[in-house]
Amino acid sequence: MQFPVSRLLLALWLGLMSGVVVAQADPPGDPAAVKLGDDGYWRDKNGDPTYKIEKDGTVDFATFQGFRRFNSTCFVCHGPDGSGSSFAPALADSLKTMDYSTFAGVVVNGRKDFLNGQDKVMPSFGDNKNVTCYLNDIYVYLRARSTGALGRGRPPHHAQKTGQYGDNEDKCMADN
């Protein structure tokens, strides 16, 4: 139990130093992929979605999809490949200290920061299928960016969809 306490203190200290209120979030932990689920997403030892990158640079399909979807909806504020813009944070950095559930919560509910003369507002994407249907994809892509496992730009090679991935995607994106 010692570890979480010191981590919280560190978060508080960082918050005081920078004048930023740090959301109570844990780092996402070891990103190593241990199991491929029936839904076509790799999981880490805690069961959170993660990326799988082969030695030759081939990424799993979800990571590739995350690259595409991020660089469509999210990049207009957060910059290409999560590298940030003049008015929104670099998520390739933010994900270093943000776990899966916190990430999902911010994407779905939005977030407002009025600090240092900068009004930063992230809208709720809860009813945007281009985001919610690909929440895990965007997460694993950014997770790979945050650990340095994946660089800037388009992944050169990617694996194919597996399991229920394709069916779930079609159902999720279908017009109601």
Partner 1 sequence: MRKYLLATCLSAVALCAASFAYADDDPLLTMQKDAKQWVTPRADYAATGYSTLNQINASNVGKIAPAWTFSTGVLRGHEGAPLVVGDVMYLVAPFPNTVYALDLNNDGKILWKYEPKQDPNVIPVMCCDTVNRGVSYGDGMIFMHQADTTLVALDAKTGKVDWSVKDGDASKGQTGTDAPFVFKDKVLIGVSGGEFGVRGWVSAYNAKDGKLVWRAYSEGPDSDLKVDPQKTTSLGKPIGADSSLKTWKGDQWKIGGGATWGWYAYDPKLNLVYYGSGNPSTWNPSQRPGDNKWSMTIWARNLDTGEAKWVYQMTPHDEWDYDGVNEMILTDQKIDGKDRQLLTHFDRNGFGYTLDRASGELLVAQKFDPKVNWATGINMDKNSADYGRPIRVKAMSTEAQDVNVKGVCPAALGSKDEQPAAYDPQTELFYVPTNHVCMDYEPFKVSYTAGQPYVGATLSMYPPKGDSNMGNFIAWDNKTGKIVWSDPEQFSAWGGALATAGGVVFYGTLEGYLKAVDAKTGKLLYKFKTPSGIIGNVMTYEHGGRQYVAVMSGVGGWAGIGLAAGLTKPNDGLGAVGGYAALSNYTALGGTLTVFALPQD
**Site residues, partner 1 (CB under 8 A):** 67-73, 75-77, 79-81, 83-87, 90, 110, 112, 114, 117-123, 125, 127-131, 133, 152-154, 173, 175
Cβ distance to partner 1 smaller for residue 56 or 127: 127
Report in angstroms how near the CB of residue 146 gets to partner 1 at its nearest.
15
Q: Which residue from 44, 43, 11 is spatially nearest to 26, judged by alpha carbons? A: 11
Cβ distance to partner 1 smaller for residue 30 or 170: 170
Report in angstroms how near the CB of residue 13 gets to partner 1 at its nearest.
25
Report in angstroms how near the CB of residue 166 gets to partner 1 at its nearest.
12
Q: Which residue from 42, 45, 40 is spatially nearest to 30, judged by alpha carbons? A: 45
Cβ distance to partner 1 smaller for residue 22 or 122: 122
Residue with tokens 């559930």: 101
Q: How many CB atoms lie within 10 A of CB 153?
A: 10
Distance CA 1, CA 134 (A): 34
Residue with tokens 């030892």: 45
- Alpha carbon 56 to its chain centroid, in Å, reads 23
Report in angstroms how near the CB of residue 52 gets to partner 1 at its nearest.
21
Cβ distance to partner 1 smaller for residue 44 or 145: 145
One-letter amino acid for residue 50 of the chain: T
